[in-house]
Amino acid sequence: DDVANKIAAGEVIERPAAAVKELVENSIDAKATSIDIEFKNGGKTFIKVSDNGHGMRKDQALTCLEPHATSKIRSADDLESILSFGFRGEALPSIASVSKFTLLTKPEGAKVGTSVSVRAGKITEIKEVAMGRGTEIVVEDLFCSVPARRKFLKTDNTEAGHIIKMCKLYALAKNDISFSLRENSKLIFSSKKTADLAERVKNIFGEEISEKLIPLAPYSGFGISVSGAVSKPAESWTTSKNIYAFINGRPVECRAVFSALKDAYKSAMPQGKYPAAFLFIEIDPRFVDVNVHPAKREVRLKNEFAMRSAILAALVETLENYSI
Ligand code: ADP
Ligand code: MG
């Protein structure tokens, strides 16, 4: 019901970037190959995410706004090994309960699409629209119905920073999807589909980082595969801001990964100087607990030792070759 939705919204959607994250994950789950994101005022007044994914029929467009309407879990078993990003079925109803929300969607083969408008959790209009295959969601005045939450938002600039970082992470993680991100119609970045990591890093983060990257020799062991690229620590990088890890295509913050990285660099990573690192880790999803907090990127591992060992093994040879 309405109250439950607003409570859920406060928990899952802490800030505009969390709404963007949920929408982008849904587009990825819908097998989109192109995702375009736009926002204004740090996402407080306007967020739009459009994709060319599989879209929804009218009945699906209506049920997806009801709590726990996920189409992504079929049995209790799936919970353990779920690979898709979404599995709780609460993001859309949560966001819609605290904003002016518009969903436009059309599946393959349908003549027309469906547009559903929601105001603070109540459907106010359903109509047919002409559009291509895919889904477009517009979220205006996020938290308009929960002033307490709205008060906790930071400045537009800070909230924008969170959105931009989030989008860059997903753009980096998904090399088979092209992304664009715009703030007030100004292009922040756009990335094309490419398996070339350095090319993607260049498009998303810029040349300063991409030109320093050394590719990792792909490594597989301990039930884990690791690939990606790293750099030597740079004088000007005084924080870990250029260190990114992805587990099964999901950007994560994982203590075991970071400490293994530090160990691999040992004395080559003196205090206050950090490398860039983009680590793509594949592991049996049953060994990762993605459910620690729905809105956070922290993950827990069932076997931290295996993760540390795999990362060390993956890095050591490469770092030696480049005398790091
Ligand atoms: P979850 O992702 O956990 O299933 P959500 O509330 O995020 O829950 O989404 C509810 C449902 O709406 C999804 O399971 C999916 O069927 C549908 N959906 C949401 N976004 C999209 C999209 N961009 N394209 C196609 N279907 C979508
Ligand atoms: Mg979802």
Six token digits for residue 149? 């939450």
Residue at token pair 């609460």: 90
Q: In this predicted structure, what is the pLDDT of residue 241? A: 87
Domain shared by 170 and 227, yes or no: no
Domain shared by 125 and 268, yes or no: no
One DSSP character per residue, 50-111 reads EE-S----HHHHHHTTSTT--SS--SHHHHHH--SS--SS-HHHHHHHTSEEEEEEE-TT-S
Do the beta carbons of residue 300 and residue 289 sit within 8 Å? yes
**Helix-, strand-, coil-residue percentages of the chain, each rounded to 5:** 35, 25, 35
Q: Answer whether 0.95 is exceeded by the pTM.
A: no
pLDDT for 298-312, tens place per residue? 777 888 899 999 999
Domain shared by 24 and 142, yes or no: yes
What domain count does the chain have?
2
Model confidence band, residue 5 (pLDDT cutoffs 50, 70, 90): low
pLDDT for 232-245, tens place per residue? 998 889 988 899 99
Q: In this predicted structure, what is the pLDDT of residue 76? A: 47
Domain shared by 88 and 137, yes or no: yes
Protein residues near ligand 2, an ion, with CB under 5 A? 26, 86, 91
Mean pLDDT across 41-48:
98
pLDDT of 83 above 50: no
pLDDT for 309-324, tens place per residue? 999 999 988 888 888 8
Q: In this predicted structure, what is the pLDDT of residue 317? A: 83
Q: Whose CA is nearest to atom 20 of ligand 1?
A: 26
Q: In this predicted structure, what is the pLDDT of residue 82? A: 46
pLDDT of 166 above 50: yes
What's the CA-to-centroid distance between 64 and ligand 1, angstroms?
Answer: 6
72 lines ligand 1 (CB under 6 A): yes
Range of the structural domain that residue 56 is part of: 2-191
What's the CA-to-centroid distance between 92 and ligand 2, angstroms?
Answer: 7
Between 1 and 222, the higher pLDDT residue: 222
233 lines ligand 1 (CB under 6 A): no
225 lines ligand 1 (CB under 6 A): no
Q: Which of 22, 24, 26 to mutate to test the pocket of ligand 1 (most atoms within 8 A of CB)?
A: 26
- CATH of residue 116's domain is 3.30.565.10
Model confidence band, residue 131 (pLDDT cutoffs 50, 70, 90): very high
- CATH of residue 224's domain is 3.30.230.10
Domain shared by 181 and 58, yes or no: yes
Domain end position, chosen among 153, 173, 191: 191
pLDDT for 16-32, tens place per residue? 999 999 999 999 999 99
pLDDT of 51 above 80: yes
One DSSP character per residue, 21-55 reads HHHHHHHHHTT-SEEEEEEEGGGTSEEEEEE-S--
Mean pLDDT across 144-153:
87
70 lines ligand 1 (CB under 6 A): yes
Domain shared by 99 and 135, yes or no: yes
Between 297 and 8, the higher pLDDT residue: 297
56 lines ligand 1 (CB under 6 A): yes
Whether ipTM tops 0.90, in short, is yes
Residue 196 lies in a domain: no
Domain end position, chosen among 160, 191, 222: 191
Domain shared by 148 and 45, yes or no: yes
Q: In this predicted structure, what is the pLDDT of residue 13? A: 83
Lowest mean pLDDT among 21-35, 63-77, 266-280: 63-77
287 lines ligand 1 (CB under 6 A): no
8 lines ligand 1 (CB under 6 A): no
Six token digits for residue 83? 């690979």
pLDDT of 208 above 60: yes
Domain shared by 172 and 256, yes or no: no
Burial class (CB in 10 A: 0-12, 13-18, 19+), 320: exposed
Domain shared by 35 and 168, yes or no: yes
Cβ neighbours of 220 (radius 10 Å): 13
Q: In this predicted structure, what is the pLDDT of residue 105? A: 98
Domain shared by 122 and 244, yes or no: no
Ligand 1: nearest atom to the Cα of 71 = 14
Mean pLDDT, all residues of the chain: 88
Q: In this predicted structure, what is the pLDDT of residue 177? A: 97
Q: In this predicted structure, what is the pLDDT of residue 197? A: 95
